[in-house]
Amino acid sequence: MVKIAVMVSGGGTNLQALIDAETRGELINGELSAVISSDPDAYALERAKCAFIPGYVLRRRDFDSTESYGEALAEMLEQLDIGLVVLAGFMTVLSPAFCRRFEGRILNIHPSLIPSFCGPGFYGLHVHEAALAKGVKVTGATVHFVSEIVDGGAIVLQKAVGVQPGDTPETLQRRVMEQAEWQLLPRAVSLFCEGRLKLEGETVRILDRPGE
C-alpha cells in the first residue's frame, strides 16, 4: 500500500473527492494516511476528522523561510512513511530542496489547462478570473507532478471544460471542479499507487499494466 498525505489550505473539496473515491474502493493500492494543512481553520481538517484520517497543521508563518518550512514538512512526511504527497488546494509554494527530495512523488491539481493560466499568482479563483478576462471558450484542469518550477512539472491528466455565456469566476470554478478536478485527482492518485505512471523526462506515460 502507498501511504498518501494530502496537503490542503482551504475548503478541501478535492480532499473530499479522494475520500469518496477511497470509500468506493477506487484508490487502488493507496491509503489516505494524513491530511496536512497550512491553516488551522481550514474546513478540510473537518473533512479529514469525519473520515478518521489524522490531521496535522504546519503553518508557513511559524517558520522563517521556505527552506525551513520544507525541512519540517519533509521530516513529518518521512516519519509518517508517506509514499505520495498530493497538493489539493495547497496554497504555499514549496522550496526547491523539498521538491527535489520528493521528486516524482508529489502530485498537484491546478484549475486550468496548463500551460495556460498557471505559474506564480495563478491560484484558486484568480485562475478563473484570468480565463474569463482573456475570453477563452474552453478551460479545464490539470494534474501534474511537482517540480521546482511552479506549475511546471510533467502533466499526468487533463480535462477540458466549456466556458458558458454569463459565467462568473465562481460559476466557472464550480463547473471545473465538478466536471474535471474531482474526477481527475482520484484517477491520477490511483494510477500512481498502482505503479502505472512512468516519468520520462518532461512527460508522463500511463502504463496499461504496472512495470511495463
**126 has catalytic annotation:** no
Q: Which stretch binds ligand GAR (CB under 6 A): 11-19, 66-74, 129-137, 201-209?
A: 11-19
Looking at the Cβ atoms of 77 and 94, the one nearer to ligand GAR is 94
Angle subtended at Cα 48 by Cα 191 and Cα 19, rounded to the nearest 5 degrees: 30
Q: Hey, is 172 helix, strand or coil? A: helix
How far is it, in rounded angstroms, from Cα 73 to Cα 40? 15
Q: Which stretch binds ligand GAR (CB under 6 A): 7-15, 51-59, 62-70, 73-81?
A: 7-15
Looking at the Cβ atoms of 51 and 198, the one nearer to ligand GAR is 51
Q: Is 11 in the site for ligand GAR (CB under 6 A)?
A: yes
Residue appearing with cell numbers 490511483: 190
Partners of 40 in the β-ladder: none
Give the number of C-alpha atoms closer than 13 A to the C-alpha of residue 25, restricted to the C-beta side.
0
Q: Which stretch binds ligand GAR (CB under 6 A): 8-16, 24-32, 57-65, 193-201?
A: 8-16
Q: Which of residues 165-204 bind ligand GAR (CB under 6 A)?
A: 177, 181
The CB-of-208 to ligand GAR minimum distance in angstroms stands at 28
Q: Is 83 in the site for ligand GAR (CB under 6 A)?
A: no
Q: Is 12 in the site for ligand GAR (CB under 6 A)?
A: yes
Please state, as a whole number, how many other Cβ atoms lie within 10 Å of the Cβ of residue 54. Answer: 13
CA 86 remoteness from chain centre: 5
- List, by residue number, the catalytic residues: 110
